[in-house]
Chains A and B, each alone.
Chain A
């Protein structure tokens, strides 16, 4: 800022790199090349899309005539989905707490351990949820237990990161006070860390639950229980009027859970 004020007395001459916006144009060119290359790799032919647009709208038309009687069938699996999300998120959270304490730099035992834990958590977070679902279905078999395990691992990765970041932002005062009074690590965590971040923890838990309800609706597609099983069934039998009902049900549930969780989180913070 000061620099530009000083320069304003005599107009600065910009180097040609800046005058011709070389950097901007170069990035734009690179972007265009990447775009073109990607289109080639993906074999994009817009014409096929427009040719088959009729078929697409046929599908949409079928979806716009939902089979309302199917609603009664959907209630049980969708409540199973919510249950899966609640249990999975809870298990994930319980496992995440010790890990986040190990990963948080301000209370961890040493930097080496916290780096290893962080590395591990980063890897867990990169695994896509549907892949976890496929793996757990292969291990424990088809059913909601595979879904619960998937959501547990998924929320473990997410919550531990949110938690350790929250732990790292706490006020160090109470920690130091307890340490000065001769408290051990467990006592410090219970009396100095927990009271400061308890509300954050609950809020992050609700946020993760929100995301898990969203993702649990499709886990069943690979056999991991819940509404996704019915989603797959209706799609495979081309029964789009049932698909429409399922999607509507998912929508309503997600909206309600989102609303509830948002309301609670606003009250907490």
Chain B
């Protein structure tokens, strides 16, 4: 008992030491001195702008106003996510481990690794690469969202496949259905509600990222937002921020209710 206690104590000390070392390392050479003297002033101006947003910007019919750009942002996220849902299907089947397969399975492990690679690839870089291909604009944003979302959707889909209810497919196999038939008549109907629910969830995430992709020129509300911040027009920034908050909140609510009805 006593020995166990001292062992426990030394483990605690060990972890404490590790944590202290990590923090000592983190705070070293991290530069906190560069704060501009105007910080307080800027913050005040910002808060003033947030309280007095530029209401004229909400809609002026030019197609460059808040409402049309928010609509564009939603369109980017929508197209990107649902195209990505289709693109993710092969990746999901690639990465999913079947019920009788070993823990380390070559196909499944490589698939999982590829999905992780896609997920880690920064979305902004993807957007910039696609801008090189199709020019600045929302199309580049759609492409970036649709490729990047494979990283998340592929993971969620493959996990759904691994945990799915196999009774329907087993029933079909037992009456002599071939593989395509089992896939279409049993696997897909079983898994579809879950897939749709995950896609809606990914849509919520994509709306957030679509609203900042414009910062590198990939369409949506991000472009005027960055412009407003860089030119310090805080009233404009205020109204855009309010717009983003309302948009994200509404989409979260909508998608939440839809998802509850699905599963």
Chain A residues at the B interface, C-beta cutoff of 8 Å: 31, 34-35, 37-39, 41-45, 48-49, 52-53, 55-56, 59-60, 80, 82-84, 86-87, 90, 122-123, 126-131, 134-135, 138-145, 148, 214, 217-218, 221-222, 231, 235, 243, 247, 250-251, 254-255
Instruction: Say how far B122's CB is from chain A's closest CB, in angstroms.
Output: 5
| Interface residue stretch chosen among B90-98, B135-143, B158-166, B171-179 | B135-143
- Chain B count of residues within 8 A CB distance of the other chain: 66
Across the interface, do B79 and A39 meet the contact criterion of CB distance under 8 Å? yes
The interface residues of chain B, by DSSP majority, are classed as: helix
Name B43-70 residues within 8 Å CB distance of A: 43, 46
Chain B residue numbers with a CB within 8 Å of A87 are 26-27, 30
Q: What residue in chain A is nearest B142 (Cβ atoms)?
A: A42
Across the interface, do B75 and A37 meet the contact criterion of CB distance under 8 Å? yes
Chain B residue numbers with a CB within 8 Å of A55 are 132-133
Across the interface, do B139 and A250 meet the contact criterion of CB distance under 8 Å? no
A-B residue pair count with CB separations less than 8 angstroms: 163
Question: In whole angstroms, what is the CA distance A141 to B132 when docked?
Answer: 30
Across the interface, do A86 and B23 meet the contact criterion of CB distance under 8 Å? yes
Across the interface, do B31 and A145 meet the contact criterion of CB distance under 8 Å? yes
Question: In whole angstroms, what is the CA distance A59 to B42 when docked?
Answer: 40
Q: What residue in chain A is nearest B25 (Cβ atoms)?
A: A83
9 more contacts with CB within 8 A, not counting A126-B208, A131-B244, A135-B237, are A35-B78, A37-B75, A44-B79, A60-B129, A80-B29, A130-B124, A134-B229, A138-B230, A139-B42
Question: In whole angstroms, what is the CA distance A45 to B71 when docked?
Answer: 19
Decide: A48 near B134, CB < 8 A? Known: A43-B139, A86-B23, A128-B244: yes
Decide: A38 near B46, CB < 8 A? Known: A80-B30, A130-B215, A144-B30: no
Name B207-261 residues within 8 Å CB distance of A: 208-209, 211-212, 215-216, 219, 222, 225-226, 229-230, 232, 237, 241, 244-245, 248-249, 252
Q: Does B184 contact A (CB under 8 A)?
A: no
Question: In whole angstroms, what is the CA distance A121 to B122 when docked?
Answer: 26
Question: In whole angstroms, what is the CA distance A48 to B143 when docked?
Answer: 12
Across the interface, do A42 and B22 meet the contact criterion of CB distance under 8 Å? no
Chain B residue numbers with a CB within 8 Å of A41 are 71-72, 75, 138
Q: What residue in chain B is nearest A42 (Cβ atoms)?
A: B138
Chain B residue numbers with a CB within 8 Å of A80 are 29-30
Chain B residue numbers with a CB within 8 Å of A129 are 212
Q: What residue in chain B is nearest A238 (Cβ atoms)?
A: B132
Which A-B residue pairs are the 8 nearest by beta carbons? A38-B75, A56-B133, A42-B138, A126-B248, A141-B36, A41-B75, A130-B212, A143-B34
A-contact 0/1 string along B79-107, CB 8 Å cutoff: 10010000000000000000000000000
Q: List 21 A-B contacts (CB under 8 A).
A: A35-B78, A41-B71, A42-B79, A42-B137, A44-B139, A49-B143, A56-B133, A83-B26, A126-B248, A126-B249, A131-B229, A134-B215, A138-B230, A139-B36, A139-B43, A140-B34, A144-B30, A218-B122, A251-B120, A254-B120, A255-B116
